[in-house]
Amino acid sequence: MAGTLYLIPSALGERPWTDYLPAATQAVACRLRRFVVENAKTTRAELKRLGHPLPLRDLAIEQLSERLSPDEIGRLLAPLLAGEDVGLLSEAGCPGVADPGAAIVRRAHALGIAVKPLVGPSSLLLALMASGLEGQRFAFHGYLPAREPDRQRRIVELEGESSRLDQTQIFIEAPYRNDALLAALLAACQPATRLCLATDLTTAEETITTRAIGDWRRLTLPKLDRQPTVFLMLG
C-alpha cells in the first residue's frame, strides 16, 4: 500500500502556528518524518515552530532542485511507493501554487499515489478575498515582464482583458521591484481601474488597500520595497 503525499501550507511571516494553521494540519506535519520542500532552511524553521516532536536531524528533508528532472521526481516519490507518507512544503504558503511543487504532485497522480491537500494560508487567496474585487472570475499571472516597454504593454493588455471579462487580474513581483511595478501601474492604467495592494499578509504589518488608479495617483504611495505584496487589478 502506497503512502500519502500531504500538501502542507506554511507560514507567510513570523506568527504562532495557531494563527495560520488548523490543528489537523499541524498534527499531520508533526507525525511525518519525510519531507520534500522548496527551501530546507525555511522548512526546518517551520517544523520547529510547529513543535515537531523529533529532533530535526532525524527527519529526511529533501530540497527540490532549481530544475527538477524526471529522474529526481521519481527518486523523491520512491518512498511513497514503498509505503511511507511524505509532506510537501513550499517556502511560504501553499505548495504547488505559484511555486515549483506542482511537478511532484502531477507525477504522484500518474503513479496512483493519494494526494491530500491540507488547509493553510495562501497570500493569493487572502488577497483576493480582502480586495473586494471580482471573486467570481479571476486569474493569476505570476510575474509580469521586468523590463519596459514589455511591462507597460503587458499591464495594458491585462487591464483590457480584465475590463472585457470582468475578471480580477492577480500578479506578483520580486519584492525589490514592487515600487517600480506600482509606478508602472499608475502610469499605464485608466483612472477608474481599481488596484488592490495586499502587503505583508497575516503579519502584524499587514495592509490591504483597494483604490481607483486615479485615487492612488493623488496620494502618497506606500513603500513596498522588499515587502511581499500581491497586486490585484480590476479594469
Residues that bind a copy of itself (CB under 8 A): 7, 17-24, 94-99, 101-109, 115-117, 119-122, 124-142, 167, 196, 201-202, 206, 208-211
Neighbours of 92 (CB within 10 A): 22
**CB-wise, 117 or 222, nearer to a copy of itself?**
117
142: left (phi over 0), alpha (psi -120 to 50) or beta: left
**CB-wise, 1 or 23, nearer to a copy of itself?**
23
**Minimum separation from the CB atom of position 34 to a copy of itself (A):** 19
Give the bridge partners for 4, in sequence order: 114
**CB-wise, 138 or 181, nearer to a copy of itself?**
138
**Minimum separation from the CB atom of position 23 to a copy of itself (A):** 4
- Alpha-carbon 126 to chain mean position: 10
**Minimum separation from the CB atom of position 81 to a copy of itself (A):** 16
CA-to-CA distance for 15 and 183, rounded, in angstroms? Answer: 31
**Minimum separation from the CB atom of position 37 to a copy of itself (A):** 15
**Minimum separation from the CB atom of position 126 to a copy of itself (A):** 4
CA-to-CA distance for 143 and 93, rounded, in angstroms? Answer: 17
CA-to-CA distance for 34 and 79, rounded, in angstroms? Answer: 9
**CB-wise, 79 or 93, nearer to a copy of itself?**
93
- What 3-state DSSP class applies to 27? helix
Give the bridge partners for 93, in sequence order: 10
**CB-wise, 56 or 74, nearer to a copy of itself?**
74
